[in-house]
Amino acid sequence: MALKLLKKLLFDRPLKNGVILNHQYKIEECLGMGGYGLVYLCTDILTQTPYVLKQLRPTKAKKEKEKVRFQQEIKLLNSIHHPQIPGFIDEFIIDGQAYYVMQFIEGENIEELLFFRKQPFTELMALQLISQLLEIIEYLHDRLIFHSDIRTPNIIINDGRLCLIDFGLAKQLTPEEMEEIKVRKQDDFFDLGETLLFLLYSQYKGKKKKNGTWLEELTLTKEVTLLLKRLLGIDEEYQHTASIREDLNRAIQSIT
């Protein structure tokens, strides 16, 4: 375990700021390190446009399975064309090391807004944001693409406009893969419900009970409660995004 960690520290060190890749992309800063990739803010020195650059971790680049996974992520992103998902820009290999470039989305992620800035979201604001997120999920699921990592740090808000990032765990399935489709669909639906719950708790001022549940702590309309219970699998699970959209619209109408 210690040796594995040491290897990561030695070989997976981020690129230095100022390094120029492919004679075009200047590294500005490392934004983060995930399970198998490093993510940077970079600038296209030809156009002065900011982009996000992702690098397959050097320790992973030696494994064929990880290289294939990275290429699948590139192929997937290249097939997605949605205004609220960062667009694919470029890909290249330098000395056996794979990289790809995508659009940079300005704004703050929901995790920063909720847990660091302590920004409150009204019930209506929360539902409207979830409506935007559902629109993205509808687009993806119509193409049998499942994100599988819809979490607060992967949802960016800029002037009320929501964007979904980080497709490292996403997968596009075939119609024949029915069992995996069912599992991944429910995972995305559960994540949607959990995100809504986080947003609704931003308004909660009471004292959390030791073994209290959100049903006891939050004062919600019956329509919002129904929506949450089905998204979280407490009641009958949703099978399609269309049913979620219907209940979400009813929930919005119940508080407007």
Catalytic residue numbers?
Answer: 149
Report the helix count and the strand count for the chain, using DSSP H and E: 9, 11
Burial of 228 (0-12, 13-18, 19+ CB in 10 A): buried
Tokens 């099978």 correspond to 239
The residue count for the chain: 256
Three-point CA angle 219, 223, 226, nearest 5°: 90
CB 224 within 8 A of CB 214: no
Strand locations in 85-133, DSSP E?
88-94, 97-103, 108-109
Bridging pattern class, strands 20-21 and 37-44:
unpaired
CB 106 within 8 A of CB 52: no
| Tokens, residue 119 | 């920004």
Q: How far is CA 27 from CA 20, 40, 104, 162, in A?
A: 6, 7, 13, 26
CB 105 within 8 A of CB 86: yes
